[in-house]
Amino acid sequence: MVSGRSANGELDACFRSLMLSISSGRGQAEGGGAMPTLSGWKDLPIELLLRIMSIIGDDRMLVVASGVCTGWRDALGWGLTNLSLSRCQQNMNNLMISLAHKFTKLQVLTLRQNIPQLEDSAVEAVSNYCHDLRELDLSRSFRLSDRSLYALARGCPQLTKLNISGCSNFSDTALTYLTFHCKNFKCLNLCGCGKAATDRALQVLPVNPLF
């Protein structure tokens, strides 16, 4: 995972390069006056921050950028719709808890893990803030319990795609509750969910699940 120090350095270098380009390209504003002074990321208009964010293409850098200044936080909060933390090898749970309130416009969130880290508290944080979420990958989240499904049912009713493969602790009662409240499901991956994928639960599913 990219360290905060190295990523901040890359962002600062990007800003200096941007300022050099502006100063060499235009010395005056269109009206003839002097160009406004830009001393840091906080001085850039949010529209430009959104444009920069759209071409970064590195979720790790975006996470670091959210802590640089209020401008980045605002831009990410308004503009980020797709985020993956699957590269996070440690502390994914605490990271998601700390980020959820910043990324309220998320529509696609990937939290797939090689080493189980995610706990119910992180999924509850997502459900508290990310109400526009459409696609969620929680595969291999062995520590999650029914609390997570109940939280998603209450906070993320727009879900259309959910991957909970390998989440062996979910019950059919919680799965039934989730599908009752999330009526837009098109894809549901239940591979390895033996306790949840019972005949009772499958009868009420709005889609054909994957096994």
Q: How confident is the prediction for the chain on average, in pLDDT?
A: 76
Enumerate domains of the chain plus CATH numbers.
Answer: 1-61 (no CATH), 81-211 (3.80.10.10)
Measured distance CA(2)–CA(66) in Å, rounded: 14
Strand (E) or helix (H) holding 153: helix 146-155
* Digit-coded pLDDT (tens) for 36-58: 554 555 555 555 555 665 555 55
Does pLDDT of 71 surpass 70? Answer: no
E strands, the chain, are: 82-84, 108-110, 135-137, 161-163, 187-189
Considering only residues 3 and 151, tell me which one the structure prediction assigns the higher pLDDT: 151
* Digit-coded pLDDT (tens) for 185-202: 999 999 988 888 787 777
Q: Which residues pair with 188 in a beta bridge?
A: 162
Tokens coding 81? 């719709």
Question: Looking at the whole model, is its pTM more than 0.85?
Answer: no
Q: At 28, is the pLDDT very low, low, confident or very high (cuts 50, 70, 90)?
A: very low
How far out from the chain centre does Cα 211 lie? 25
